[in-house]
Amino acid sequence: DPKLHEMLGYDPKYRSIGILSSRTGAGPHILAVDEAVKATNTEVISIELARDTKGGAGHGSLIILGAEEVSDARRGIEVALKDLQRTFGDVYANDAGHIELQYTARASYACNKAFGAPIGRAFGLCVGAPAGIGVEMVDAAVKSADVDLLGISSPAKGTSFSNEVIGFFSGDAGAVRQAVVTAREIGVKLLGTLGSEPKTDGTPYI
């Protein structure tokens, strides 16, 4: 509806919108939408992170895609939903918390909007919850490879008060991948000391 679009501040050129909404997870959804905007005729209108309770210490998300045609908005959401299986591949959890890793060789508009990732460059992120694990992961990651540390989010800054520390990395593909892999190693190890062996429900892709 035009009244709704105007209230939400959407550009009127988007005659259709696509909605991706989740109780659990934000990183996987943003990375999946990043692929969707590369592959379809859609743009990212907004990305919001909820402090939901289903995901334990982490976020839920609400992502709005804009398109001029209904078929494009639908296609964008289809591509994103399909890619979610991949982007949940490096989320490891146990009763004590969770860690998450994401990597793309070429960041697009969703990663740019959500994380300030330079478009077209390799981008990675690591999440640790409880937050102290995230501090150790980011520290190990930036020591292990020559990456640009774009930013750090923590319970009071850049998150919706989630119990996470999140690091964002840009740079050469090999270096970003190395940083993320190092963060995964230290994160799985630390989270494992607080509970059972952290498991992913999917297939690691990084």
Q: Which residues pair with 47 in a beta bridge?
A: 63
Q: Which residues pair with 29 in a beta bridge?
A: none
Using the contact rule CB under 8 A, the part of the chain among 44-52, 86-94, 104-112, 177-185 near its own copies is 44-52
Burial of residue 170 (number of CB atoms within 10 Å: 0-12, 13-18, 19+)? buried
Site membership for its own copies, residue 36 (CB under 8 A): no
Locate 36 and state its tokens: 């969707």
CB of 95 to its own copies, least distance (A): 10
* Residue listed under structure tokens 């959500």: 114
Among 88, 86, 101, 80, residue whose Cα is nearest residue 37: 80
Other C-beta atoms lying within 10 Å of the C-beta of residue 195? 12
Site membership for its own copies, residue 124 (CB under 8 A): no
Using the contact rule CB under 8 A, the part of the chain among 42-50, 81-89, 103-111, 197-205 near its own copies is 42-50
CB of 47 to its own copies, least distance (A): 9
Site membership for its own copies, residue 130 (CB under 8 A): yes
Using the contact rule CB under 8 A, the part of the chain among 61-69, 83-91, 102-110, 114-122 near its own copies is 61-69
Burial of residue 7 (number of CB atoms within 10 Å: 0-12, 13-18, 19+)? exposed
CB of 73 to its own copies, least distance (A): 13
Residues that bind its own copies (CB under 8 A): 1, 3-4, 7-8, 17, 19-23, 48-54, 56-57, 60-62, 64, 96-97, 130-133, 135-136, 138-139, 142-143, 149, 151-152, 154-157, 160-165
